Amino acid sequence: MTAPPFSPFDRPNSYIGRSVPRPNARRLLAGRGQFTDDVQFARLTHVAFLRSPHAHARIRGLDLNAAKAAPGVIVIATGADLARLCRPWVGTLTHFAGLKSPPQYPLAIDRVVWRGEPVVAAVAATRALAEDALELVVVDWEELPAVADMETALDPATSVIHPEFGDNKAFSLHLESGAVDQAFAAAHQVIEAEWHFGRHTAVSLEPRTMVAQFDPSEQRLTVFQSTQTPYQMQDVYARHLGLSDAQVRVVAKDVGGSFGMKLHVYGDEMATAALSMMLGRPVKFVADRLESFVSDIHARDHRVKARVAVTADGEITAFAVDDLTGIGPFSAYPRTSAVEGNQVIRLIGGPYRHRHYRADLKVVFQNKNIMSQYRAVGHPIACAVTEAMVDLAAASVGLDPVELRRRNMLTDDMYPYTSPTGFVFERLSHHQCLDRLVGHMDYESLRAEQERLRRHGVFRGIGIAAYIEITNPGPAFYGVGGARISAQDGCILKLEPSGQVRCLVSVTEQGQGTETAMAQVAASVLGIPLDAVRVVTGDTEVTPHGGATWASRGAGIGGETVLRAARALRDNILALAGTILQAHADTLDIRDGLIVDADGGRERMALAELARIAFFRPDTLPPDFQPEMTVARHHVPRGQPFAFTNGIQAAHVEVEIETGFIKLLKHWVVDDCGRVINPQLVDEQIRGGVVQGIGAALFEECIYGADGQMQNGTLADYLVPMAGEMPDIVVDHVSTPTVYSELGAKGVGEAGTAASAAAVLNAVNDALRPLGARVTTIPLTPDRVLAALGKLDA
Amino acid sequence: MPGTIPIALTVNGAPVSRAVEPRLNLVDFLRIDLGLTGTHVGCEHGVCGACTLLLDGDMVRGCLVLAVQADGAVVETIEGLSERGALRRLQDAFLARNALQCGFCTPGMLIAAAALLAQDPAPSRDAIRAHLSGNYCRCTGYHAIIDAVEAAAAKP
Ligand code: FES
Ligand code: FES
């Protein structure tokens, strides 16, 4: 049957494009959420981990006798014990040629390579008793030299963390396009600068949490886990614990924030699963906040040297960059720690027209916590470097930053456009977004006010940052490199006897509103009220295998999957209705849960009545007619490797030059994520993302000493944005749907984070410009601002 | 096993008595001993506000109070406050404005917001922002939460 001539976007029950509230929010508001730590288990045990106090040390001996005899202890396990139950993993993928990483085990064996690495596990009747037992473990440590500074990690004098590799280099990559040297030689101005980006971490308010429950009688492992990616974890547990995936079930209940952090494989979590197999009982692990800081993946950690070539009339002709990034002692599994740097150097310069580009990336090992993908992977670094250099370019030729961007951003007639780094942009809307932004800000008045206030010793700054975002990654993203991470998603839609619909879908929910957006798509296509759709996510035993939610793919890929499934179910429903009503299926339609005449809308029967006949009175149907009231569809995005989105942000700040404090006055975003399924959900994704980026810009930093010790690993010392210091955030949209899906939705989960730090950085430097100062390291702490002003030693 | 101490208190309107270890904090007592899992644990060192609850009518951090200190006290958690409708205006406003994402901070945020509205029925945005600064939210960026509290305050 051909697709019926209707659009799910403009008909009764058109929920696409509407800000409906989230049905699953009610229980969260009433304290009835079910986070992993809230689930009750019979015979539950608790695990706690002894973690390395050293950045690098040999374990000469372990005395576990006292711990084993401690009250309530069920087992004390070492790295060697668990290595017998769990195969090691290696964080490399073949499409990152040359990427190295050694095998990693649940717990350290013989040697620790970062402060925080789990060493000994204690399982006891309560968490407190497990921690008591760990107090009694005696470790004979031999401290080894720590590699902390990424700048010297490759020096011959620096010790090598993994001697088998010969040096501390994990990965390197060179990109070159156009005639870079000629472009710089011919430039009117060449601007050079070096930018530093500290490490920070996700600080999901709910820490990493899991309960692994192995049932020896059935040889089945069930893992309740706060994760974004239950299917990936099902596969990981099966392969590394010697099970088949049919023996493993992973369930993600409510997830209290994740932001990319809860999709990596962690030794303590593998240990928890292995321990439950050892004991045949459920084992719970909840990372406390202190261990979260030294074991949840860290993010960023880059030093980027950048050059830009500009002509006399402000045309940017070339960028050249050199990115050095430190990833800790291992490349994270199974997605690697090479993606971050790779995306940095491929995204730099993204919104602009230059044709000459050179980039060098070096990824080095250190004795620090592992660095890997976190919300907006690589984007904030690429955006900050690009936009900071663009501002410097504007100043060098005496042009306003907005004007210079106008002259250099890709224009509407250039699409499809292949960037110097090989990205293909289907269609972006840089100029429309810029025009909208300037309008929202009332840019000219802000500039006039800035001028006026400067004369009174008030230093305000305006920072602009254009961005592109990689969303909806296609089939060649991880799988091509050997990772068993799906690029497709699946959806099962069932008509229930009540006439309502259950939607089982592989994309997952961490508060974005995934379930609501999927319900909106299903209800719109089927023509039923929104509350007649119940969405189920996050259980590998129930929902189809899919990629789940990461890399801004949930709405775009999951939404299209649901759309296709809903269309198929609709066809089946209308075929049955046609049989019952002795009408042609294509003369019928479904509106508001009723079968109606497509022409005129006369009511023919309720869906509930149709369902009743399908399920309980099939005897009344022709003998050769089989109603199919459950459908399944999968969808893999095709046609382009990514659906790129774009947008632009602006920050307005005031810098107190006596104290170095930065006050955020306002923030603006104009984003283009194609078709918007639920404007309110999209706006709040953007706002939340903006604030995470602002955290990185102003406060968040994992501070390490030269000995590789993290010095601020408490929530009192590691600062995250609070309500009082955040600005109101104006969000607007331009909509350029992708033609590669019917829904036309692109991703949006990372757009806010991609550019907010860049906008704040530019705003602060704009404020400082008349004082001849420039800050080149984020977070932009008061100390760094004062140092830039020459009021404090750097 | 360390010794236990008997305590008796009122939780969400009902009398409760238990014997607890002296080191058990109030939020773990509520969550583990009483199954009141609506109060969350985000840091256990008094910073994030996820464990916010009412102790004798005052907003406190459940991770900084020992269960034994609550002996004789009246405790109210998100479950009890929701059931007696004390947060309805705020909950409706949070729902309408999508002022929650993962929802982990939400119970604490609602209780903190209610405490503000009890003192100041029409707070300014700045006052809302200042008051909620002891409750961390990693998902929303706060803007929607501020809007929702403003909207709840404006409702009769
Ligand atoms: S858990 Fe009590 S303040 Fe964070
Ligand atoms: S909604 Fe996730 S922490 Fe606030």
SS3 string, A50-106, reads EECCCCCEEEEEEECHHHHCCCCEEEEEEHHHHHCCCCCECCCCCCCCCCCCCCECC
Contact B108, B52 (CB under 8 A): yes
- Owner of token pair 């709840």: B152
Same domain assignment for residues B62 and B108 = no
Q: Are residues A206 and B42, on separate chains, in Cβ contact within 8 Å?
A: yes
Residue A732, domain extent? 298-475+639-788
Average pLDDT over residues A552-566: 90
Rounded CA-CA distance A337/A169 in Å is 12
Angle between helices A430-441 and A401-408 (to 10 degrees): 160
Residue A3 has pLDDT above 70, yes or no: no
pLDDT at A477: 78
At which of A602, A635, A668 does a domain end? A635
A249: which strand partners?
A222
Among B12, B33, B15, B16, CA closest to B24: B33
Q: Is A289 on the interface with B (CB under 8 A)?
A: yes
In the reported structure, the alpha carbon of residue A254 is separated from the centroid of ligand 1 by a whole-number distance in angstroms of 19
pLDDT tens, residue by residue, B126-148: 999 999 999 999 999 999 999 99
pLDDT at B50: 98
A418: which strand partners?
A424
Same domain assignment for residues A754 and A773 = yes
Contact B92, B33 (CB under 8 A): no
Residue A458 has pLDDT above 60, yes or no: yes
Same domain assignment for residues B90 and B34 = no
Sign (positive or negative) of CA dihedral A729, A730, A734, A739 = positive
Cis omega (within 30 of 0) for bond into A618: no
Rounded CA-CA distance A600/A587 in Å is 10
Same domain assignment for residues B59 and B103 = no
At which of B49, B81, B113 does a domain end? B81
Alpha helices, H only, chain B: 26-28, 78-83, 88-97, 106-119, 125-131, 143-154
Same domain assignment for residues B75 and B90 = no
Share of chain B above pLDDT 90, in %: 97
pLDDT tens, residue by residue, A394-428: 999 999 999 999 999 999 999 999 999 999 999 99
Task: Kindly list the protein residues whose Cβ atom lies closer than 6 A to any atom of ligand 2.
Answer: A 205, 257, 511; B 100-106, 137-140
pLDDT tens, residue by residue, A459-480: 999 999 999 999 888 877 788 8
Same domain assignment for residues A451 and A545 = no
Among B119, B125, B110, B124, CA closest to A723: B125
Same domain assignment for residues B123 and B135 = yes
Same domain assignment for residues A433 and A378 = yes
pLDDT at B2: 57
Same domain assignment for residues A439 and A500 = no
Q: What is the CATH number of the domain that holds B149?
A: 1.10.150.120
Residue B137, domain extent? 85-154
CB atoms under 10 Å from CB of A129, counted, come to 22
Same domain assignment for residues A608 and A643 = no
Among A72, A205, A83, A60, CA closest to A131: A72
Average pLDDT over residues A360-380: 97
pLDDT tens, residue by residue, A615-640: 999 999 999 999 999 999 999 988 88
Cis omega (within 30 of 0) for bond into A544: no
Residue A732 has pLDDT above 90, yes or no: yes
Domains identified in chain B, total number: 2
Same domain assignment for residues B46 and B94 = no
pLDDT tens, residue by residue, A664-691: 999 999 999 999 999 999 999 999 999 9
Rounded CA-CA distance A568/A519 in Å is 16
Domains identified in chain A, total number: 3
pLDDT band of A602, cuts 50, 70, 90: very high
User: Could you tell me which chain A residue has the CA closest to the CA of B134?
Assistant: A722
What strands lie across the sheet with B74-76, from one edge to the other?
B14-20, B5-11, B74-76, B52-55, B58-61
pLDDT at A480: 85
In the reported structure, the alpha carbon of residue A729 is separated from the centroid of ligand 2 by a whole-number distance in angstroms of 17
DSSP state of B68: G
Q: At A695, phi and psi to the nearest 5?
A: -55, -45
Same domain assignment for residues B105 and B68 = no
Same domain assignment for residues A319 and A390 = yes
Which amino acid is residue A245, in one-letter code? Answer: D
At which of A635, A651, A685 does a domain end? A635
Atom of ligand 2 nearest to the CA of A205: 3
Among A179, A142, A139, A171, CA closest to A154: A171
For the question of whether the overall pTM of this predicted structure is more than 0.95, the answer is: yes
CA A543 to chain centre: 22
In the reported structure, the alpha carbon of residue B49 is separated from the centroid of ligand 1 by a whole-number distance in angstroms of 5
Q: What is the CATH number of the domain that holds B49?
A: 3.10.20.30
Same domain assignment for residues A552 and A463 = no
Q: Is B30 on the interface with A (CB under 8 A)?
A: no
Q: Is A179 a member of any domain?
A: no
Rounded CA-CA distance A190/A206 in Å is 47
CB atoms under 10 Å from CB of A151, counted, come to 12
Contacts of residue B133, Cβ cutoff 8 Å, sequence gap at least 6: A722, A723, A724, A725
Q: Is B18 on the interface with A (CB under 8 A)?
A: no
At which of A618, A635, A652 does a domain end? A635
Same domain assignment for residues A29 and A125 = no
Contact A33, A254 (CB under 8 A): yes
Q: Are residues B138 and A203, on separate chains, in Cβ contact within 8 Å?
A: yes
Same domain assignment for residues B77 and B91 = no
Contact A302, A348 (CB under 8 A): no
Q: In whole angstroms, how far apart are CA A294 and each of A289, A703, A711?
A: 9, 11, 10
CB atoms under 10 Å from CB of A502, counted, come to 16
**Pairing between strand B52-55 and B74-76?**
antiparallel
Among A586, A162, A503, A135, CA closest to A364: A162
Q: Are residues B102 and A752, on separate chains, in Cβ contact within 8 Å?
A: no
Contact A56, A112 (CB under 8 A): yes
- Owner of token pair 């023509």: A527
pLDDT at A12: 75
pLDDT at A639: 84
Rounded CA-CA distance A358/A371 in Å is 25
**Pairing between strand A729-733 and A662-672?**
parallel
Q: Are residues A205 and B40, on separate chains, in Cβ contact within 8 Å?
A: yes
Average pLDDT over residues A232-246: 97
DSSP state of A554: I
Average pLDDT over residues A2-10: 52
* CB-nearest partner of B129 from A32, A207, A724: A724
Contact A178, A317 (CB under 8 A): no
Angle between helices A443-454 and A430-441 (to 10 degrees): 50
Q: What is the CATH number of the domain that holds A609?
A: 3.30.365.10
Length of chain B: 156
* CB-nearest partner of B104 from A256, A684, A692: A256
Residue B98 has pLDDT above 70, yes or no: yes
Which residues of chain B lie closer than 8 angstroms to A34, CB-CB? Answer: 37
Q: Are residues A30 and B39, on separate chains, in Cβ contact within 8 Å?
A: no
At which of B81, B98, B128 does a domain end? B81
pLDDT band of A7, cuts 50, 70, 90: low
Q: What is the CATH number of the domain that holds A47?
A: 3.90.1170.50
pLDDT tens, residue by residue, A704-713: 999 999 999 9
Q: Is A385 a member of any domain?
A: yes
Average pLDDT over residues B106-124: 98
Is residue A588 classed exposed, middle or buried when 0-12, 13-18 and 19+ CB atoms within 10 A define those classes? Answer: buried
Residue A2 has pLDDT above 50, yes or no: no
B10: which strand partners?
B15, B74
Same domain assignment for residues A303 and A358 = yes
* CB-nearest partner of B133 from A40, A688, A722: A722
Same domain assignment for residues B102 and B148 = yes
Same domain assignment for residues B10 and B57 = yes
At which of B81, B113, B138 does a domain end? B81
Contact A431, A437 (CB under 8 A): no
Residue A1 has pLDDT above 50, yes or no: no
Same domain assignment for residues B68 and B97 = no
Q: Is B21 on the interface with A (CB under 8 A)?
A: yes
pLDDT tens, residue by residue, B63-75: 999 999 999 999 9
Q: What is the DSSP string of B26-65?
A: HHHIIIIIS--TTS--S-SSSSS-TTEEEETTEEEETTSS
In the reported structure, the alpha carbon of residue A511 is separated from the centroid of ligand 2 by a whole-number distance in angstroms of 8
Q: Is A40 on the interface with B (CB under 8 A)?
A: yes
Share of chain A above pLDDT 70, in %: 99
Average pLDDT over residues A91-120: 97
Query: Which of helix, strand or coil describes residue A663?
Result: strand
Residue A752 has pLDDT above 60, yes or no: yes
Q: Are residues B102 and A255, on separate chains, in Cβ contact within 8 Å?
A: yes
Same domain assignment for residues A286 and A313 = no
pLDDT tens, residue by residue, A508-551: 999 999 999 999 999 999 999 999 999 999 999 999 999 888 87
In the reported structure, the alpha carbon of residue A259 is separated from the centroid of ligand 1 by a whole-number distance in angstroms of 20
What strands lie across the sheet with A45-51, from one edge to the other?
A73-78, A118-124, A45-51, A282-286, A209-215, A220-225, A248-251
Same domain assignment for residues A349 and A275 = no
Which amino acid is residue A440, in one-letter code? Answer: H
Q: Is A189 a member of any domain?
A: no
Same domain assignment for residues A631 and A648 = no
Same domain assignment for residues B91 and B146 = yes
Query: Which of helix, strand or coil describes residue A435?
Result: helix
Among B75, B3, B4, CA closest to B34: B75
